[in-house]
Structure formats: C-alpha cells, structure tokens
Amino acid sequence: MLTVLLVDDVLDRRESVRQALVAEGYTVVASLESTFELRAHVERLRPDAILIDTDAPDRDTLEGLAGIHRDLPRPVLMFSHDDAADTIRAAMAAGVAVYVADGFAPARLAPLMKVAQARFEAHQEVCRERDAATRKLADRVAVERAKGVLMKIHGTDEESAYGMLRKTAMDQKRRLADVARELLNSVRLLG
C-alpha cells in the first residue's frame, strides 16, 4: 500500500485528512503542520506520495517542492483554497501533480491520489525520454567531433576515422561515445 507524507497547517483539518487517508488504505508515515522540514522528512521517510492541504501555498513551500521534485521525485497532491492562476501555475511548475483549488473533500481523495500517481509516472517517463534523447545527441556530437579530429590528424576520410574510433571502442570494450570523449579531452589537454 502507498505511504503518504501529510502536511496540513490546521490541526483539526490535518487529523480529518489523515483519517480519510487511512480509511482509503494509505499509510500515513508522518503528519506535519508545516513544510519547514519537508525535504528532511522526505529524505528520511521516503514516502510514496506527498499530500499538502493548505489555504494557499507560499513561496517557500513551492521552492521546497521544486527541490524535492528535482532531487527526490514523487507524486504531490495539493489541496488549497487559492484558485489564482499564477498560484496554480507555480505549484505545477514546482512539481505538484494535482492541484485542487477548492479545498479537501474526502470523497475525492482516492481518485485524486490515483490521478496524481498517473500524472507523476507520465511526467517521469517524459523526463526519462528527454534525458535519453539528450544523451544520445551528446554522444552523436562527441563522435562527430572525434571523427573530425582523427580526419585532421591522420589526413583520412570520415569512414576511416569512424573505423578507428569503432575499433578502439571494441578493443577496449567501451562505448563509442566514451572513446570519442576521451579523445576530445586528450586533444584539449595537448592544446
């Protein structure tokens, strides 16, 4: 079952949200009154999701969530009474998967947690694909530059330069891009 870190600055409301989570089968690993030490709690407790119920998210909360989203990503569901478009955009940019602008409602909790999880997973997949494409492009650029260096040094054509890189990579059981980067670094050191 999913573990949830709950943050709510109103004690009575925090307890009702905690009870609703437990009733839906979630395990509440901590129930906090502020986001002050949120990152430390996330690092220590490693919850599957974060639920924040607040009247309005402040700048510090959103900055903290952005850091968590970058370094310790997990689904974040936020209930708030602030329906300003700028606030919603800022929350989403900080990594909030679902922002509900009309406050907490126990009946909507389970479906919204599922939506938060699904949006989070979809976002993570897009990030993985982006990172893979970025790495692939960087690899291709390194290989092209290394071929250019070899062509200049050896006075050879592109195909022969590629063959030299490929043979070295195979002989050393290394990735072609890693061999290319090593060559480029060596050339930089030599001037």
Report residue 36 as tokens: 């002050």
Q: In whole angstroms, how large is the CA radius of gyration of the chain?
A: 25
Q: Is 29 helix (H, G, I), strand (E, B) or coil?
A: strand
- Whether 11 and 96 share a structural domain: yes
Q: In this structure, is residue 166 part of a structural domain?
A: yes
pTM of the model: 0.79
Contact 50, 24 (CB under 8 A): no
pLDDT digits (tens, 9 = 90+) for 144-178: 999 999 999 999 999 999 999 999 999 999 999 99
Asked if the structure places residue 181 within a domain, the reply is yes
pLDDT above 90 for 129: yes
70 plus 136 within the same structural domain: no
Mean pLDDT of 14-29: 94
Q: Taking each helix axis as running N to C, give the angle between helix 109-154 and helix 158-172, from 0 to 180 degrees, rounded to the nearest 10.
A: 120
Q: Does residue 1 carry a pLDDT above 80?
A: no
Task: Choose one of 89, 104, 119: the last residue of a domain.
Answer: 104
The per-residue pLDDT of the chain, averaged, comes to 94
| Token pair of 34 as six digits | 């502020």
Flag whether 112 is in a domain. Answer: no
Return the CATH number at 55.
3.40.50.2300
Do 21 and 70 lie in one domain? The reply is yes
Backbone angles phi, psi at 125, to 5 degrees: -65, -45
pLDDT of 4 > 80? The answer is yes
CA dihedral over 109, 23, 10, 50, signed as positive or negative: negative
The pLDDT of residue 12: 86
Burial (CB < 10 A; 0-12, 13-18, 19+), residue 11, is exposed
Mean pLDDT of the region 34-39: 92
Q: Taking residues 20-32, what's their average pLDDT?
A: 95
Task: Specify whether 77 is located in the same domain as 12.
Answer: yes
Same domain, 53 and 137: no
Number of domains in the chain: 2
- Residues 9 and 46 placed together within one structural domain of the fold: yes
Same domain, yes or no: 36 and 77: yes
Print the domain residue range for 144: 132-190
Residue 187, pLDDT above cutoff 80: yes
| 54 plus 10 within the same structural domain | yes
| Pair 69, 76: CB distance under 8 Å | yes
Residues 97 and 161 in one domain: no
